[in-house]
Amino acid sequence: MIAGLEGITGVARVYTRSELDAMDTPQNLGDLVVDCAEGYAFSTSVAEHGAKAQQQIFMVFNGPTIKQGELYETECRSVDCVANILAVHGVPAEDTVDGAVLNGIYK
């Protein structure tokens, strides 16, 4: 998962919990922190997941657990990315994950 996240354009680094612990970050920050590359940002707003236009995103999923040719027309939000990356890999999301699993796309 870390390699996949680090391969995304605009991602500079993914910090693991052990690296975060070494930097004395609070536990509620999470187990992974994605750091943007210079010139990139997750949001232009403060203390939010972005403005409404930034929250609605286009997502494409492909793989053996995904329904082929399925068009999921329910709103997808940027916060749904983490929940669905975990779901694709069979990892249950912690209660601290804000996003929703888009159950309609899975076999």
Contacts 24+ apart (CB under 8 A), 32-41: 32/1, 32/2, 32/5, 34/5, 35/11, 36/10, 36/11, 36/12, 37/9, 37/10, 37/11, 37/12, 38/12, 39/10, 40/10, 40/11, 40/12
What is the pTM assigned to this prediction? 0.47
Q: Are 90 and 1 in contact (CB under 8 A)?
A: no
Predicted confidence (pLDDT) per residue in 4-28, tens digit = 888 888 889 999 999 999 998 888 8
Residue whose pair of structure tokens reads 């209660």 in the numeric block? 95
CA-closest candidate to residue 37, choices 7, 77, 80, 81: 7
Predicted confidence (pLDDT) per residue in 39-85, tens digit = 877 765 554 555 555 566 677 787 888 888 877 777 777 788 888 88
For residue 19, the model assigns a pLDDT of 94
